[in-house]
Amino acid sequence: MFKLKELAERDRLLKPGITVVDLGAAPGGWSQLARPLLGPKGRLIALDILPMEPVPEVDFIEGDFREETVLRALESKLQGSRSVDLVMSDMAPNISGVDTADQVASMHLAELALEFARTQLKSGGAFVVKLFQGEGFESFVKDVRKLFETVQLRKPKASRPRSREIYLVARNFRVV
C-alpha cells in the first residue's frame, strides 16, 4: 500500500471520478488506498487469483487473469471498451526460487497487463505495473514507450533497496 501511495502522490494518478482496474489486488491494500480518492463517481474493479476481503464500493473478481472466462467477466464489468482511466498491476507469480523461471513468469504477467491496458484504456489513460529487472525488462519498457507519451521508472522508498522490483508509470496512452 505504501508503494502505491508514494507513486500516486508523486504522479497524481488517482483522481475523483475516474475508473480504475487493480490487477493482482489481493490482499487489497491498493484498492483500500485508491477507492476513497476516486470519490462517489469513481469506480474501482479489482481482480486477483486469491480471495480478498471485501472493500466497500470495490467490485472484486476472484480468478486467474490468464483465463479467458475471468478476463471476459472483467470486461463485462467495464460495460464497454475504452472505459478505463488507470490500469494498475501489482501481479506477481508464485515464486519458484529459480530466478530465470520467476523472471519469465513475472514478465508474462506484465505483458498480459499491458495487453489489457492497450485494449481497455481511454486515450490519455495511465498504466502502473510492477516489474523485476532482468531478462525481458528492457524490451518491455521499449514496448510501453511506443504506446504512452510518458514512461518513467520508479523505485518507491517502501521497496527494499536490494530488490530488483521497480514500478513503471506510463501516462497519456495513445489509442492504437
Kindly report, residue by residue over 26-56, the tens digit of the pLDDT.
999 999 999 999 999 999 999 999 999 999 9
19 alpha-carbon distance from chain centroid = 13
Does residue 5 carry a catalytic annotation? no
Domain boundaries, the chain: 2-173
Q: ∠ CA(128), CA(14), CA(82), 5° rounding? A: 65
Mean pLDDT of 5-14: 84
- What are 157-170's pLDDT values in tens digits? 767 777 788 999 99
What distance in Å separates the CA atoms of residue 88 and residue 141, rounded to the nearest whole number?
16
Q: In angstroms, how far is the first alpha carbon of the chain from the final one?
A: 32
The contacts of residue 173 (CB under 8 Å, 6+ apart) are 117, 121, 122, 123, 124, 125, 126, 127, 147, 148, 149
Judge whether 28 and 1 are in contact, CB under 8 Å. Answer: no
Is pLDDT of 129 > 90?
yes
Banded pLDDT at 1 (limits 50, 70, 90): low
pLDDT at 89: 95
Q: Which of 47, 127, 58, 125 is nearest to 87 (CA)?
A: 127
Note the CATH architecture for domain 2-173: 3-Layer(aba) Sandwich (3.40)
51 by DSSP, 3-state: which? coil
More confident residue, 60 or 76: 60
Mean pLDDT of 75-81: 81
Among residues 3, 130, 146, 155, the one annotated as catalytic is: 130
Q: Which of 153, 157, 150, 147 is nearest to 132 (CA)?
A: 153
Chain mean pLDDT for the chain: 90
Q: ∠ CA(135), CA(68), CA(144), 5° rounding? A: 35
Mean pLDDT of 50-64: 95
Banded pLDDT at 81 (limits 50, 70, 90): low
pLDDT at 42: 95
| pTM score over 0.85 | yes
